[in-house]
Amino acid sequence: MLFNHYLKSGKENNEWVNLVLTLRHIVESVQPISSPEQLAKLISEKDELLITTENFLNIASNSKKDVQEIVSIYRETIDSLCSDANFTEAEVTAAVEIVSHAQPAEEPPIEEATEKHQIPADIMPGMWFQVNMGEDQNTRRCKLSVIIVEDANLMFVNHKGELVTEKSFDEFNEEVTNKTTKMIMGHSAFDHAFKSVISRLD
């Protein structure tokens, strides 16, 4: 479900956030119940969570039968956890009252804030580099094909478009600084030759 959405729409959208939050709630809902409050909360939220899960799965899957089977197993798992919870009726009643008057819990961040990795602004796909291939290996002439910002990776290909290597932003920046990976100015050769021809014609 998450994979299909990521391929189609990426992560920079509200739908992705809702999917991740739903997954978090699913995981939380199948943990062993350790308190009456946890049981009361699960009882009050399980129907809405089951409906939301089924709706998301129906979007991602063409098989309604498979979705119904998955949701049925999920429902049985939750019901089993609730049945196995060993609390008195008075404890559960008191917990239901507490949960019903509690303020909605604030959702923790989906992703921890991390330092954003960057590459120089003048680096772009289509440029050619003499790329460091590691110890005891010769450098190779490769073209920067794709910059994957979300994963902070650079993909390098040969002249046939075949993937040769990939490097993280940090690895690439370090190699450029140490001059073990170098930009080839060959991408400007055509422009230079073209200008020379025009100059001669003039």
> Tens place of pLDDT for every residue, the chain, 202 residues?
788 777 777 777 888 888 888 888 999 999 989 899 989 988 988 999 999 999 988 887 788 899 999 999 999 999 999 989 888 889 988 988 888 877 666 666 665 445 566 787 788 888 999 999 988 889 999 999 998 877 789 999 998 889 999 999 999 999 999 999 999 865 444 455 555 555 666 5
- What CA–CA distance (Å, rounded) separates 83 from 37? 15
pLDDT at position 113 is 46
Q: What is the pLDDT of residue 167?
A: 94
Residue 74, pLDDT score: 93
Burial zone of 42 (CB within 10 Å; 0-12 exposed, 13-18 middle, 19+ buried): buried
pTM for this structure?
0.50
Spell out the domain ranges in the chain: 2-101, 128-201
157 backbone dihedrals φ, ψ, rounded to 5°: -125, 165
* Alpha carbon distance 33, 29 (integer Å): 9
Determine the distance from the C-alpha atom of residue 200 to the mean position of all C-alpha atoms in its chain, rounded to a whole number: 54
Q: What's the pLDDT score for residue 61?
A: 79
